[in-house]
Amino acid sequence: MTTQNRRKQAIRLKDYQPTPFAIEHTDLLFELGNEVTDVTATLTLSKRPGAADDAIVDFVGDGLVLQAIEINGAALAETAYSATPDKLTIHHPPAGEFTVKIVTRLNPRANKKLMGLYRSGSAYCTQCEAEGFRRITYFYDRPDVLSTYTVRIEADLVEAPVLLSNGNQIESGPLAGADKFHGSGRHYAVWHDPFPKPSYLFALVAGDLACVEDSFTTQSGRKVVLRIFVEHGNEGKCDYAMDALKRSMRWDEERFGREYDLDIFMIVAVSDFNMGAMENKGLNVFNDKYVLTDPEAATDADYYGVERVIAHEYFHNWTGNRITCRDWFQLCLKEGLTVYRDQEFSADMRSAAVQRIGDVRSLLARQFPEDQGPLAHPVRPEVYEEIDNFYTATVYNKGAELVRMIDTILGRDGFRKGMDLYFERHDGEATTIEAFLSSFEDANDTDLSNFSHWYHQAGTPVVKIDEMHHEDGSRRLTISQRFSELPHIDGERPALTIPLAFGYVGPNGEDVAVVGSNGETDMLLLSDKAQGFRFDNVPQDARLSINRNFSAPIVLEQKQSPEDQVFIAERDSDPFNRWQAVQNLAMTSLKAANTAILTGQKPQPPLPLVAALASLLANDALDNSFKAQCVQLPQLQDVAEAVGTGFNPDAIAHAHAYIDAYVALSLEDDLAGLYQRFVKANDTATDATNAARRALKNAALRLLVATDKSEYAALAARQAMQADNMTDRMAALMALCRQGRTERAEPLVDMYERFDSNGLVMDKWLTLQAMTNSDETLSTVRALLHDPVFSMENPNRVRSLIGGFASNFQQFNRVDGAGYQFLTRQVGALDTHNPQIAARLLEGLRSWRKLEPGRQRLARLALEKLREQSGLSSNVADIVNRLIGSD
């Protein structure tokens, strides 16, 4: 194995030590220029109680050039400090409080990593989480060093009339004369943030931006100014984001008693951004994809995404900013909790059942595979090499599930009491998961130690349920828990507290009242590896419905006949389990079809699935968005995960196509009827009712196209050409592309011609082609790398095209391995300027070990070749090494 010259040392939780000095105040001066920006940081330091007498100051940097350094106003002798691009050490700091002045010189224009200070469109902007501040100045760039900030920004008045940082603006005006580099015509602004914060929450934005303004009055009657900054011309696309912001602010007051704390809240939309958005104090910076909603260009899913991400970042003001993380091992403290909060918000804004189904769908699609493969890690890890790689589905989404389980175990009121105590105890602190859990324990006088294991062990628990019917009308449940095997994790894993919401469903869908042997009525609380429960007097025809609402993030093993599943799908009072029953029916058929194809037999028709779907579609009491979820069958990747080790992509694709077409042909009349019923042209209303109709209509269209009848492909092509909203245009094109239909060609050209100046629509256009199921897809994707709308420097474009291709199950898993090679080559190329995005793309290979032997060998070759590339970043090296493992 070649050595990875940039591979970082592993950081371990057990090595945590506070810094010897506190930074009481941080004063920053930015003299902004595109190629030359000088940053003067004046830091007020004081020794922490308990620090050693001879403690030194050791700040981190990342690629910095030190221009000057002073202590208490006097230049420092060269022997008194040492500076490298990555480190600044002051050997004999003075006693008592003192100031350190550090001048660094940056080149924002050359910063393509999009971490630290960089340019996006017509603006300067920053991204500091997790370790970007060290690209601006030398600092204790870690979340447990909290400091107040005063920030003075100087810039050209024409180039950057808008100057923003965290907190409140306290001063601004023109600058007299020319400065040393930048000529005349400059101005300045000074911002002060009174809330002590870690460096990762620092932000600066400067540029020629348009502003949309509104206001919000808090529950205690304070008026808060709300401003959204966007590129000129996009002012008209901010209404929905602004509305979502106000609803988020109100919701956090009502649900959690949390009020906003500054006089102004700002959002800036930029088009070059590594992630979704960033919760910098009072100045959130967003990927413009999560702000802008052009009625012509945004889908219903886009509106939902804007609402969710606006809420998420806003909620961080309390869960993340007012209370932050002691170290990055605690990342789930803010992310898991805030995802839980944004999910609850979305559930209150929309259909709670559909929201839960969507959250579970993405958990199953992203987190479960991660947790069952070489990248598996605990929600709270104990070791990392590169923190950027731990912004994962496990930390975010499984982290949210753990918070949800606390809510389920304690009940809504108990949960709120715990949250209140957490805010009361830890406001203004950088804290830990242990402190979080203690708040719930103390507020509810309960013990969560058995539950806390969830945070510390990777892997998805498997819960097995055996139900015995006895003659006397009692039922006996034997429930056991175990873990899926993980090659890189060993040692005994303790049993977990697992809350299983349950009920017995009677023949008319009524919940049969039951009381378990320990008084259980609607929840079984597991705590041992095997446990028994008894219920007396359960009617013979009642069926068990368990893990309702997906109360625990587990794999359930339960023997259920197809009749039982159809029964639950038709009748359960828990909508989630109705949906789950349909998925189970589909998955059973898909797995059986896969086995049949591999053994040269004819697959069995999925009759129970068809029966369940027919009855759900005909049920007028169900809402359209729920029905749309039900007819959306498991995706190819989901089937591959369910089949597990040794899966053959060709067999899975055949099985999937067979089941899809069978269902579609069986339900053809119903689906065509639904399509006609909701086809309504000129439908641009974005409200929930119309969005639900579109969802169901388009789910029907997708299935109709899966019949492979040309009339439906023609229908989809017509919809794609004539739609006056992006939801319908995209859905029709997606159906055609997934099916590899040639009818996609004309509407794709049409879409390009209409929208080639809109980057966010071009993302969709790129993705459509990347996910097309056709032998030509790989060469099309290669060609698109050179299309003028594509740029390797823009993360949204890269994710859409290259990431889109990596999630194209059939074409990425080509039998010749060219898909894997393409991905690893692009990762290698991208790594030279944006390692974060490069590493993230590699997640497309997270399940490579489960592939059949031939493809597995090819995937390994591609990964090994990438590992040999010289100068690989620590981000990519970390992921490649974990993917390949030590063998």
Task: Read off the tokens for 737.
Answer: 């592309």
Q: Select the residue interacting with ligand TRP from 144, 359, 388, 878 (CB under 6 A).
A: 388
| Contact range with ligand TRP by CB under 6 A, out of 38-46, 125-133, 146-154, 432-440 | 125-133
Nearer of residues 367 and 810 to Zn ion, judged by Cβ: 367
Distances from the Cα of 214 to the Cα of 223, 435, 589, angstroms: 10, 37, 53
CB 39 within 8 A of CB 136: yes
Minimum CB–partner distance for residue 387 and ligand TRP (Å): 8
Helix spans in 143-270 (H): 239-256
Q: In which element (H, E) is residue 695 found?
A: helix 688-706
Nearer of residues 321 and 594 to ligand TRP, judged by Cβ: 321
Distances from the Cα of 363 to the Cα of 257, 344, 729, 735, angstroms: 29, 15, 27, 24
Nearer of residues 29 and 387 to ligand TRP, judged by Cβ: 387
Which residues neighbour 711 within 8 Å (Cβ) at sequence distance 6 or greater? none
406 half-sphere exposure, CB direction, 13 A CA radius: 33
| Contact range with ligand TRP by CB under 6 A, out of 127-135, 172-180, 513-521, 602-610 | 127-135
| Contact range with Zn ion by CB under 5 A, out of 247-255, 329-337, 576-584, 701-709 | 329-337
Measured in whole angstroms, how far is the alpha carbon of residue 335 from the centre of its chain?
A: 9
Buried b (16+ CB within 10 A) or exposed e, 805-824: bbbbbbbbbbeebbbbbbbb
Nearer of residues 338 and 351 to Zn ion, judged by Cβ: 338
- Cis preceding-peptide flag for 130 (omega within 30 of 0): yes
| Contact range with Zn ion by CB under 5 A, out of 331-339, 480-488, 561-569, 618-626 | 331-339
CB 816 within 8 A of CB 810: no
Buried b (16+ CB within 10 A) or exposed e, 763-787: bbbbbbbbbbbbeebbeebeebbeb
Nearer of residues 278 and 297 to ligand TRP, judged by Cβ: 278
Which residues neighbour 179 within 8 Å (Cβ) at sequence distance 6 or greater? 31, 154, 186
Task: Read off the tokens for 508.
Answer: 């008319």
Told to check if 798 binds ligand TRP by CB under 6 A, we report no
Q: 511 forms bridges with which residues in the sheet?
A: 505
Asked about 171 being catalytic, the answer comes back as no
Dihedral pair phi/psi, residue 167, rounded to 5°: 90, -140
Give the binding-site size for Zn ion (rule: CB under 5 A).
Answer: 2
Minimum CB–partner distance for residue 209 and ligand TRP (Å): 19
Q: Select the residue interacting with ligand TRP from 38, 129, 141, 743 (CB under 6 A).
A: 129
Residue 127 near which of Zn ion, ligand TRP, none (CB within 5-8 Å, type-dependent): ligand TRP
| Burial class, 471, CB count within 10 angstroms (exposed 0-12 / middle 13-18 / buried 19+) | exposed
Nearer of residues 33 and 132 to ligand TRP, judged by Cβ: 132
CA–CA dist 267, 157 (Å, integer)? 21
Minimum CB–partner distance for residue 388 and ligand TRP (Å): 6
CB 532 within 8 A of CB 508: no
Q: Select the residue interacting with ligand TRP from 279, 359, 371, 831 (CB under 6 A).
A: 279
Residue 278 near which of ligand TRP, Zn ion, none (CB within 5-8 Å, type-dependent): ligand TRP
Binding residues among 850-869 for ligand TRP as defined by CB under 6 A = none
Q: Select the residue interacting with ligand TRP from 209, 275, 628, 695 (CB under 6 A).
A: 275
Told to check if 403 binds ligand TRP by CB under 6 A, we report no
Nearer of residues 81 and 200 to Zn ion, judged by Cβ: 200
| Contact range with ligand TRP by CB under 6 A, out of 181-189, 271-279, 354-362, 369-377 | 271-279
287 half-sphere exposure, CB direction, 13 A CA radius: 19
| Contact range with ligand TRP by CB under 6 A, out of 124-132, 142-150, 604-612, 665-673 | 124-132
Residue 248 near which of Zn ion, ligand TRP, none (CB within 5-8 Å, type-dependent): none
Q: Which residue in 231, 279, 313, 467 is the catalytic one?
A: 313
Q: Select the residue interacting with ligand TRP from 83, 164, 245, 278 (CB under 6 A).
A: 278
Nearer of residues 302 and 388 to ligand TRP, judged by Cβ: 388
Nearer of residues 125 and 695 to Zn ion, judged by Cβ: 125
Binding mask 287-326 for Zn ion (x = CB under 5 A): ----------------------------------------
Helix (H, G, I), strand (E, B) or coil at 389: helix
Give the binding-site size for ligand TRP (rule: CB under 6 A).
Answer: 10
Task: Read off the tokens for 499.
Answer: 């809350």
Minimum CB–partner distance for residue 235 and ligand TRP (Å): 25
Binding residues among 332-371 for Zn ion as defined by CB under 5 A = 335, 338
Task: Read off the tokens for 728.
Answer: 């319908």
CA–CA dist 251, 260 (Å, integer)? 11
Nearer of residues 317 and 438 to ligand TRP, judged by Cβ: 317
CB 810 within 8 A of CB 772: no
Helix (H, G, I), strand (E, B) or coil at 155: strand
Minimum CB–partner distance for residue 149 and ligand TRP (Å): 18
| Contact range with ligand TRP by CB under 6 A, out of 117-125, 126-134, 486-494, 587-595 | 126-134
CB 848 within 8 A of CB 883: yes
- Position closest to ligand TRP via CB: 275
Q: Select the residue interacting with ligand TRP from 71, 123, 130, 443 (CB under 6 A).
A: 130
Told to check if 391 binds ligand TRP by CB under 6 A, we report yes
| Contact range with ligand TRP by CB under 6 A, out of 39-47, 204-212, 272-280, 471-479 | 272-280
Minimum CB–partner distance for residue 312 and ligand TRP (Å): 6
Nearer of residues 388 and 401 to ligand TRP, judged by Cβ: 388
Told to check if 274 binds ligand TRP by CB under 6 A, we report yes
Helix spans in 739-848 (H): 745-755, 759-770, 777-784, 795-798, 804-806, 809-812, 818-831, 835-841
Which residues neighbour 844 within 8 Å (Cβ) at sequence distance 6 or greater? 803, 806, 807, 812, 823
Binding mask 304-343 for ligand TRP (x = CB under 6 A): --------x-------------------------------
Minimum CB–partner distance for residue 125 and ligand TRP (Å): 11
Told to check if 288 binds ligand TRP by CB under 6 A, we report no
Binding residues among 38-97 for ligand TRP as defined by CB under 6 A = none
DSSP state of 319: B
CA–CA dist 506, 575 (Å, integer)? 15
Measured in whole angstroms, how far is the alpha carbon of residue 247 from the centre of its chain?
A: 21
Which is it for strands 264-270 and 283-287: parallel, antiparallel or unpaired? Answer: parallel
Told to check if 120 binds ligand TRP by CB under 6 A, we report no
Minimum CB–partner distance for residue 316 and Zn ion (Å): 6
Residue 38 near which of Zn ion, ligand TRP, none (CB within 5-8 Å, type-dependent): none
Told to check if 127 binds ligand TRP by CB under 6 A, we report yes
Nearer of residues 323 and 410 to ligand TRP, judged by Cβ: 323
Q: How far apart are the first and last CA of the chain?
A: 11
Nearer of residues 336 and 374 to Zn ion, judged by Cβ: 336
Minimum CB–partner distance for residue 333 and Zn ion (Å): 11
Binding residues among 496-525 for Zn ion as defined by CB under 5 A = none
What SS3 string covers 655-694?
A: HHHHHHHHHHHHCHHHHHHHHHHCCCCCCCCCCHHHHHHH
Instruction: Catalog residues that contact Zn ion under the rule CB under 5 A.
Output: 335, 338
Question: Which residues are the active-site residues?
Answer: 313
Instruction: Catalog residues that contact ligand TRP under the rule CB under 6 A.
Output: 127, 129-130, 274-275, 278-279, 312, 388, 391
